[in-house]
Amino acid sequence: MKRSSTDPPVKVGDTIELNIEAQGAKGDGIAKIDGYVIFVPKAEIGKKYQVSVNRVFPNMGFAEIISDDAQTQDSEDEVEPEQPEMDVVDDTEDFGTDDEEKELDWGE
């Protein structure tokens, strides 16, 4: 949907929720509000973020992530990952006696 007004739909300091729809050439997330493009650094496609608008131009704006709503939702349902089983090493194994050590040629 395109904007009907020439004024940007956001102002510097606005806190808004955005769905990231695409990724820019430099890796920034891209969202749109009524056709107005907002770039969000470090945002991932398909995620929803709470952002703060920090730069506004006539054709585009920039915002920074305040919170990752998707991550917040996941963390509530997060289950501690199962730890893989580790092989137990028996460090009490006898590695030889002093007599065997004397038999080795240590270059002395």
The answer to whether position 51 is within a domain reads yes
Assign residue 62 the CATH number of its domain. Answer: 2.40.50.140
- pTM to 2 decimal places: 0.60
Write out the residue range of the structural domain in which residue 30 sits. 15-69
**Assigned domain for 31 exists:** yes
Judge whether 25 lies within some domain. yes
Domain count, the chain: 1
Q: Are 12 and 32 in contact (CB under 8 A)?
A: no
Is there a domain that residue 74 lies in? no
Q: What percent of the chain has pLDDT over 90?
A: 56
Question: Is there a domain that residue 9 lies in?
Answer: no
Q: What is the mean pLDDT of residues 81-101?
A: 57
